[in-house]
Structure 1
Amino acid sequence: MRISVEARGRMVSACIFSAIFAISVATKALGLEAMRTAALGSSSFDTERSGAARSANRHGSLKNSGAKSEPGVKRAEVNNHELPLFAVVSIADQRVSIYNHDGLVDRSAVSTGMLGHATPKGVFTIIGRERFHRSNIYSGAPMPFMQRITWSGIAMHVGVVPGHPASHGCIRLPAGFAAKLWGLTKIGERVVISPEEVTPIEFVSPLLPAPKMQVVAEADQAAPSTPQASLAATPPSSLINPHQYAEQLRAKAVAEKAAAGKTIKEMSAAVRVGQREAARAAAELKAAEAAYASAQAKAETAAKADQVVGSDVSASQQESILGAELKAADEIGAGRSVARRPAKPYEQMVGTTDTAAELADTAAKLEAATTASAAKAADLEDAVRQLNDATEAYGAATNAEKEAVRRMSPLSVLVSKKDQRIYVRQGLAPVFDAPVSVRDPATPLGSHLYIATAAENDGTSLKWSVVSIPTRSAEEWREHKRKAASGAEQVELPPKPRGSPSSAADALERIEIAKDVHDRIAERLWTGASLIISDQPVSGETGPVGTDLTVKVR
């Protein structure tokens, strides 16, 4: 099939434009990041920004970052980089708003999925970050400052923002805002994608889960002063929150791991020495056994020789010997000299005195060698046992450290009316799940996200915000906004139909959770924790590990 010159020209122009755009986006992003890196005095290009750099960005003024944010936005201060942020993306308005416990932090235009590639709506989490990502779906297209929210290919990243949906499902961000957002957010923070604009509100209810304060004994605080185990000063037997308790557990695990590692090193050397000494003792025992066997063989040979000599002396020989002795005695009595007679046959038998002495000596040496070898073998066995115990303790401390680090991550809880279960995750991995009851199950709950945004002044309770995802479609919301902007005197939303979703407060009241489940949640609950109450089941985006609790709404 022939292609016209005009069509070929358009294709070439499109390719050139795509290449120029990719280069310009990457160059701009790299330039912005280089400026930010230079300002921070950092040369790290790893996947995650270092803690110091992130802290600097969170503490720094957003106005000086050079990012193109929506003008006229009243920004909240970001003074504590440990407190969580969360994002709300409005499909209808094509913009993203970033919030913290004080309210709106920043806002920017975005571009979401076009027709046929709609961006999924629901509650998601930042589960991966990559500063210089290339798409593995769309021919390696550059996606700087990529922050992944699903493993099926949805992420926030730098891209063209034309003012309308234009992506293949991702949330495109302006380059400057993407770089700024990269410095603010971290893995585990929530992203709400809503059909229309929704604003989080502060929410107070005695039905919200409350953190359990822990009493720490003095023994639990006796951890070494290391960078890994640095903790806020806590007096003995004082109350600490679950995050501080997790830090204590981590410090304890680090100390136990270090002690076990030292023991492993010492006992490994002891085992090597013990192996050499046991081998030497075994060789000495083997030589003693051989010497004793030789002495025993000699003794047996001598005994057999004695038996042979005794059996060879017959009665007639004994009589002639006796006669010869009597004759000799007579001659001596007559004064005649007598030549020395041959030795008696029983005087020629091999003597056993030396053989018996040798056997006794080798037996004593064998007993000593056996005792020494057994002692060395016991020492080696004890060293091996201690080495195995230390290795097991090291493994247990390593697992305890990992679990403590996981307990320092935000807790995620999902109550699904569809599944009739409550799911609990932390550190992007399951903790447990349990049955749950929902009163008046025929009435929808809606989808509500409750976020523990900060600690109260008392230090033992939490501040909460809630975002409720609306059920009206984006098209209905656009029509409402168009009529409102046209200058109509009064524009009212249609009345709530029967069976419409509950409010955030009503939804919380309808959930019945067992006390033991409440207690298990309370032990891990602190700032950054989130609770989702939804009619929907757990999304297929939630996998065994590396994902958070996610729900999609229609």
Structure 2
Amino acid sequence: MMVRTVLPLLLISATVFTTPALSQDGTNLQIIVSKQDQKLVVYDGTKVVATSRVSTGKEGHSTPSGIFSIIQKAKYHESNLYSNAPMPWMQRITWSGVALHQSSSVPNRPASHGCVRLPDDFARTLYGMTALGAHVIITDAPVTPVVVNHPFLFTPRHDEPQLLSGAKLRGGDAVSATKPVEVAMIDVPAVPKAELPTPSNPAPLRILITYSDDQQIVRDAQVLLRELGFDTGSTDGQTGPLTREAIRGFKRWKSLNTKGPLITPEFLTALYASAGKPMPPRGHLYVRQNFKPLFDAPVAIAHPDQPLGTYFLDAVDVNHQTGATTWQAVTLDNASPHKPQSSVITIGTHDGSNPSTSETYGLNAVLDRITIEPDIRTRIESTMTTGTSLTITDQGIGKETDEGTDFITILPPKNRS
């Protein structure tokens, strides 16, 4: 493991280093930028290892808030958008042009065209501290990672040696109950915990849990409508003229309200009942690794008419020998407490329940609402490593999430009215 020594209280361009060494190789550092304070803080776990002033995007060129990771690094880069402006010590966080980079003008107020400007010396130092995949969280108000515990959170597992592998029970119907039953045992020497095999340091998993997107809901409805004899034209997930007429025709058949949003809980309940199929879970889990999709699966989210908010969780000190890990979390302050409304789709429960906000909102309450299948949990827990992250959000898979990225979650601009 590479260890970098950092001199205590070394002051460089309004930058303070506060710990003697980094415990990771740079992949698992967490960089948090507050646009309100115009300040960047680097965390190694919950420890602050560096801070600096910054300049984020000025009015009309605001730096987006959300969850990002470093997807490209270059000691020298020129802007493709702004007259080949130099961007030394560039660390890209979106392919559309947002990056952290050195600048000779960092006035500690919003001044850039959307990037995060860093003081000269600190930009170079930060470049040397990080690796591709390091997370960058940009918020309005400052936030701090906190350690969290919840039974939903993934814990590393290791398959113990099978002590009865190949064993054959002798007895049963062929042996009198009055005679002792012989059991063939395989002698397996005790293996110290420290010698048990572990995953060979694969890249950390990136996990996203969100609501199923509207396109998937429409696509599933189109399939069922066609099975029931209603012509939707295609199963492309789009609410074109034929799909709209098919839905209205089904509603008339079932005496449902044809006014208001096109797809409602009542419509979906009736549609799946008519097709003789159970309602699918409203949530979905996606997993990436090495900037590529790995697998995805449906998950159940209770009270799907209630928002989730946006949370980022990071696993530190993952130990497959002991089955222990520590999760730390950041709640993004400008995560919308209300899901965006659609004139086409409104999805929720229709069980007459009306849970309070305290029962459904906030990290612990949200984790209480999520259920995943045991085989999916096993797959994650068997391969998770230090730096595995979990994003929970209403925002779906962000449009910036693409080939060569981790999950990128961009939050809507904060309402300042």
Q: Which residue of the partner structure matches residue 250 of structure 2?
A: none
Aligned partners of 1:208, 1:59: CA distance in 2, in Å? 33
Query: In structure 2, the residue corresponding to 1:177 is in which secondary structure?
Result: helix
Aligned partners of 1:79, 1:469: CA distance in 2, in Å? 25
Counterpart of 2:310 in structure 1: which amino acid?
S
Larger Rg, first or second structure (1 or 2)? 1
Counterpart of 2:391 in structure 1: which amino acid?
I
Query: In structure 1, the residue corresponding to 2:12 is in which secondary structure?
Result: coil
Q: Are 1:202 and 2:144 counterparts?
A: no
Q: Which residue of the partner structure matches residue 462 of structure 1?
A: 325
Structure 2: stretches of 5+ with no match in the other structure: 163-188, 214-282, 337-355, 413-417
Structure 1 residues 208 and 240: alpha-carbon distance in aligned structure 2, compared to 1, 3 A threshold: farther
Per-residue Cα deviation, 1:231-265 (whole angstroms, up to 9, x for no partner): xxxx9966689994225xxxxxxxxxxxxxxxxxx
Does the 8 Å CA contact 1:444/1:499 hold for their aligned counterparts? no
Aligned partners of 2:12, 2:315: CA distance in 1, in Å? 28
Shift of 1:156: 0.4
Q: Which residue of the partner structure matches residue 96 of structure 1?
A: 40
Structure 1: stretches of 5+ with no match in the other structure: 1-50, 218-234, 248-407, 474-497
Does the 8 Å CA contact 2:194/2:321 hold for their aligned counterparts? no
Query: In structure 1, the residue corresponding to 2:13 is in which secondary structure?
Result: coil
1:549 counterpart (382, 386, 407):
407
Aligned partners of 2:390, 2:329: CA distance in 1, in Å? 9
Does the 8 Å CA contact 2:71/2:91 hold for their aligned counterparts? yes
1:518 counterpart (343, 368, 377):
377
Aligned partners of 1:216, 1:115: CA distance in 2, in Å? 61
Does the 8 Å CA contact 2:156/2:319 hold for their aligned counterparts? no
- Number of matched residues? 295
Shift of 1:464: 1.3
Q: Are 1:434 and 2:265 counterparts?
A: no
Q: Which residue of the partner structure matches residue 174 of structure 1?
A: 119
Q: Which residue of the partner structure matches residue 60 of structure 2?
A: 116
Shift of 1:456: 6.3
Does the 8 Å CA contact 1:436/1:512 hold for their aligned counterparts? yes
Structure 1 residues 102 and 139: alpha-carbon distance in aligned structure 2, compared to 1, 3 A threshold: same
Query: In structure 2, the residue corresponding to 1:59 is in which secondary structure?
Result: coil
Does the 8 Å CA contact 2:310/2:335 hold for their aligned counterparts? no
Does the 8 Å CA contact 1:241/1:526 hold for their aligned counterparts? no
Counterpart of 1:533 in structure 2: which amino acid?
I
Q: TM-score, normalised by structure 2?
A: 0.65
Query: In structure 2, the residue corresponding to 1:523 is in which secondary structure?
Result: helix
Q: Which residue of the partner structure matches residue 200 of structure 2?
A: 246
Structure 1 residues 457 and 107: alpha-carbon distance in aligned structure 2, compared to 1, 3 A threshold: farther
Aligned pairs for 1:242-391 within 5 A: 244-246=198-200
Structure 1 residues 472 and 246: alpha-carbon distance in aligned structure 2, compared to 1, 3 A threshold: closer
Structure 1 residues 432 and 112: alpha-carbon distance in aligned structure 2, compared to 1, 3 A threshold: same
Q: Which residue of the partner structure matches residue 140 of structure 1?
A: 84
Q: Are 1:78 and 2:40 counterparts?
A: no
Query: In structure 1, the residue corresponding to 2:121 is in which secondary structure?
Result: helix
Shift of 1:113: 0.8
Shift of 1:189: 1.3
Aligned partners of 1:411, 1:460: CA distance in 2, in Å? 17
Counterpart of 1:134 in structure 2: which amino acid?
E
Aligned partners of 1:241, 1:529: CA distance in 2, in Å? 23
Q: Which residue of the partner structure matches residue 399 of structure 2?
A: 540
Report the structure, 1 or 2, having the larger helix content.
1
Shift of 1:208: 0.4
Aligned partners of 1:212, 1:429: CA distance in 2, in Å? 24
